[in-house]
Structure 1
Amino acid sequence: MITVKAPGKLYIAGEYAVVESGFPAIIVALDQFVTATISPSDTFGSIVSKQYQENSIFWRRQGDEMVFDNRDNPFHYILSAISLTENYARETGQALGVYHLGINSELDSADGKKYGLGSSAAVTVATVKALCQFYHLPMDKSKLFKLAAIAHLSVQGNGSLGDIAASVYGGWIAYHSFDRQWLHLQRQQHSLTELLAMDWPDLKIELLTPPADLRLIIGWTGSPASTSHLVDKVAMVKAKQRGEYQTFLQDSKACLKRMVQGFRNGDLATIQTELRQNRQLLQGLGDFSHVTIETPILKKMIQIAETAGAAAKTSGAGGGDCGIVLIDRAIDSTQLLKQWAHEGIQRLNLNVHTVNDDVISKA
């Protein structure tokens, strides 16, 4: 049996802007995982996940038709990852087999609540990783990212794929999103083998080392949010509010550039200053796009953290899910956590996960 893991993630800064080609975000991988197991079968294959047995789906009307939205259903990411990886296996001359694939996720709570830790990305990465080992496909981190990114994009259709990068590379990363329009065109002209060997325009992934005095604390609001739907809402507004949106993009890029430099210099104060600046930029985006990024409970969570001497903001698309706090290790956070608990905010006891710098699988 083959067993592989892929970690979840949280966005630290750069949300929404990062969906545009070449714009940066900082993301961290966490020590909660999706585990994929795969074993050969002689007769029939199976895909089993105890977490995703009863998954709700969204739909809307198009005339008299029910049109289903598969972007929040993890099984569609698993099927896309299988399809892409098996296409790649065929291109390399491998005969396709039958197998049992098991998916076990720690990224949602035991009763199925979503924490917003990027489960669809981790599911995609774990599935691709497991199948690459099953078919003995040579796979380094760059190829794993590209194959998983194509599979994920095939289902989600939008987003930056930064969560895929965090799941592949681990640790703290500065991620610049690639040109998805370019990828769409290249997929019509090139094989997967060729695509994985290409340089993708604007794609940049830099591993960051956090300052020794930086401590990350994560709070969960208890209400899940759909990233896909929130990104859709902002995308609808950006054509109408072009001036404000372009200003937001440039301000976000400048802020993230300073923040990345803070990581390079080991300067916690700079990182905290830019985190607060990024929060303000996202509040502005929420105002002119009429998207609720900072819910009342997220606002309360941030205020409590700021009072304790930390820097805090929403993580990811907002609208619920998690908030993140960057605090000096020397500061006692006991009172902060007590106040969170009083407000119904759950501290997620997660740590940063660092992937070993090895080859993913050998041919």
Structure 2
Amino acid sequence: MITEKAPGKLYIAGEYAVVENGYPAILVALDQFVTCTIEESVQEVGQIISRQYNNDQLSWRRLGDQMVVDKRDNPFSYILSAIRVTEEYARTFSRDLRIFNIHIDSQLDSANGRKYGLGSSAAVTVATVKALCRFYNLPVNKDQIFKLAAIAHFEVQGNGSLGDVAASVYGGWISYHSFDRQWLAQQRKYLDLKTIIDLPWPDLNIESLTAPKNLELLIGWTGKPASTSQLVDKISLFKARRQTEYHHFLEKSKSCIQRMVDGFHRQDLEAIKNEIRYNRDLLKQLGTNSGVNIETESLSKLCQIAESFGGAAKTSGAGGGDCGIVAIDSNSNFGNVLKSWAKNHIEQLPLSVHFIDNAKSFKKSVKHHLSYIHK
């Protein structure tokens, strides 16, 4: 029996701009996880059982090397895509495909099943890829796991930056520049998967960051889930109609993230806070110009409360609900923020940054194609 887990994530800054090739964002991995357990089946039928989907169960068989599921309409799209892509990769190492059972457990949703916006689809994709790589004994490192999971996730969702996948793979605080997804879609038509994984991906850059010691990250949840895909699609319409304004937003966001990364390098909390505020203003203006309600009334209240006690706050992710984040000095009395949130029906998510121990990571291959920098 093999068990692997992947953490959830939150965006700190750079949302929406990061879906464009080469534009950066900052994310953080959190200590809530999706866990994937896999064991070989003793029968000719395998099962996927997920607490993430109310203990729903999916049965499947092999037809040659193909995985054949028993029902078409199912909530397991990301898991199935992760299996399909990882097994395609396993075949390039001449692995015999087997029948297995997978159990999925998730901490990334509320007790009643509502999503917090912590990247559960990315985490379940990463956890499944990691578990299958061990199951088939594949010689992979984090870079290759990221690329496999990114392909699997992108082939289901069709949009987004894949930054949430990067956070789930690498852990901690990261700066992420999105890669050219159109390039990837084209290469999938002509190249085998191992070649694609071994190639450098255009515009992709991932850097681990070290937060200032006095940076306290607070996370508030508004109780209203949001659909990232739908919100990104609406912004895409604005991009098509008002290209000049959209380009100005991109360049301002890029400069903001670069200044924030410099703040991490200098361990300068005030510089980081200033850029969080600036990024919030950029996103609010984008919402106004596009007619997309990025900062809802509840998120606005969350930010207003945090700012009144010295924190720098903004929406996290696509907005429209879900979470807001606050950077505040750990030496301050930030408990006042939490008390005021509670009075205004904003739930604190008591989560911490999750770091992935490189010593326990997968065996490193000789080639290192991804621009991944440890500071």
- Interval containing the TM-score (normalised by the shorter chain): over 0.9
Where in structure 2 are the equivalents of 1:72-111 lying within 5 Å? 75-111=76-112
C-alpha distance in structure 1 between counterparts of 2:262 and 2:298, whole Å:
31
Instruction: Summarize deviations over 1:315-353 as a string: whole Å, max 9, x none.
Output: 000000000000001110122111100110000000000
C-alpha distance in structure 2 between counterparts of 1:352 and 1:39, whole Å:
30
C-alpha distance in structure 2 between counterparts of 1:170 and 1:107, whole Å:
15
DSSP-derived class of the 1:306 partner? helix
Identify the residue that residue 20 of structure 1 maps to in structure 2.
20
C-alpha distance in structure 2 between counterparts of 1:166 and 1:351, whole Å:
14
Partner amino acid, structure 1, of 2:297: P
Identify the residue that residue 45 of structure 1 maps to in structure 2.
46
TM-superposed CA distance for 1:361, in Å, is 3.5
C-alpha distance in structure 1 between counterparts of 2:220 and 2:136, whole Å:
40
TM-superposed CA distance for 1:74, in Å, is 5.3
Where in structure 2 are the equivalents of 1:104-253 lying within 5 Å? 104-253=105-254
Identify the residue that residue 273 of structure 1 maps to in structure 2.
274
C-alpha distance in structure 2 between counterparts of 1:194 and 1:205, whole Å:
21
C-alpha distance in structure 1 between counterparts of 2:318 and 2:38, whole Å:
33
Distance verdict in 2 for CA 1:360–1:96, change over 3 Å:
farther
C-alpha distance in structure 2 between counterparts of 1:53 and 1:307, whole Å:
40
Asked if the contact 1:286–1:292 (Cα under 8 Å) also holds between the matched residues in 2, the reply is: yes
Asked if the contact 2:142–2:362 (Cα under 8 Å) also holds between the matched residues in 1, the reply is: no
Distance verdict in 2 for CA 1:359–1:196, change over 3 Å:
farther
C-alpha distance in structure 2 between counterparts of 1:108 and 1:332, whole Å:
29
DSSP-derived class of the 2:314 partner? strand
DSSP-derived class of the 2:35 partner? strand
Identify the residue that residue 305 of structure 2 maps to in structure 1.
304
TM-superposed CA distance for 1:359, in Å, is 6.2
Identify the residue that residue 4 of structure 1 maps to in structure 2.
4
The yes-or-no answer on 1:321 pairing with 2:328 is: no
TM-superposed CA distance for 1:51, in Å, is 2.5
Instruction: Summarize deviations over 1:239-271 as a string: whole Å, max 9, x none.
Output: 101111000000000000000000000000000
Partner amino acid, structure 2, of 1:343: N
TM-superposed CA distance for 1:53, in Å, is 3.2
Partner amino acid, structure 2, of 1:99: F
C-alpha distance in structure 1 between counterparts of 2:13 and 2:75, whole Å:
25
Identify the residue that residue 295 of structure 2 maps to in structure 1.
294
C-alpha distance in structure 2 between counterparts of 1:351 and 1:107, whole Å:
13
Identify the residue that residue 332 of structure 1 maps to in structure 2.
333
DSSP-derived class of the 1:9 partner? strand
C-alpha distance in structure 2 between counterparts of 1:358 and 1:89, whole Å:
24
Asked if the contact 1:129–1:360 (Cα under 8 Å) also holds between the matched residues in 2, the reply is: no
DSSP-derived class of the 1:354 partner? coil
C-alpha distance in structure 2 between counterparts of 1:204 and 1:180, whole Å:
14
Asked if the contact 2:49–2:55 (Cα under 8 Å) also holds between the matched residues in 1, the reply is: no
Q: Name the Cα RMSD after superposition.
A: 1.3
> Which region of structure 1 is more displaced relative to structure 2, 289-298 or 185-194?
185-194
Instruction: Summarize deviations over 1:133-179 as a string: whole Å, max 9, x none.
Output: 00001110000000000000000000000000000000000000001
Q: TM-score, normalised by structure 2?
A: 0.91
Asked if the contact 2:173–2:210 (Cα under 8 Å) also holds between the matched residues in 1, the reply is: yes
C-alpha distance in structure 2 between counterparts of 1:334 and 1:187, whole Å:
50
C-alpha distance in structure 1 between counterparts of 2:302 and 2:140, whole Å:
41
Partner amino acid, structure 2, of 1:22: G
Aligned residues: 347
DSSP-derived class of the 2:26 partner? strand
Partner amino acid, structure 2, of 1:355: I
C-alpha distance in structure 2 between counterparts of 1:26 and 1:171, whole Å:
11
Structure 2 stretches lacking a partner, 5+ long? 57-72, 366-375
Instruction: Summarize deviations over 1:269-325 as a string: whole Å, max 9, x none.
Output: 000000000000001110111000000010001000000001000000000000000
Asked if the contact 1:85–1:131 (Cα under 8 Å) also holds between the matched residues in 2, the reply is: yes
C-alpha distance in structure 2 between counterparts of 1:50 and 1:6, whole Å:
15
Identify the residue that residue 284 of structure 1 maps to in structure 2.
285
Q: TM-score, normalised by structure 1?
A: 0.94
Identify the residue that residue 347 of structure 1 maps to in structure 2.
348
C-alpha distance in structure 2 between counterparts of 1:252 and 1:323, whole Å:
18
C-alpha distance in structure 1 between counterparts of 2:219 and 2:54, whole Å:
28
Identify the residue that residue 58 of structure 1 maps to in structure 2.
none
Partner amino acid, structure 2, of 1:53: N
> Which region of structure 1 is more displaced relative to structure 2, 334-343 or 4-13?
334-343
Structure 1 stretches lacking a partner, 5+ long? 56-69
C-alpha distance in structure 2 between counterparts of 1:53 and 1:336, whole Å:
34
C-alpha distance in structure 2 between counterparts of 1:2 and 1:354, whole Å:
21
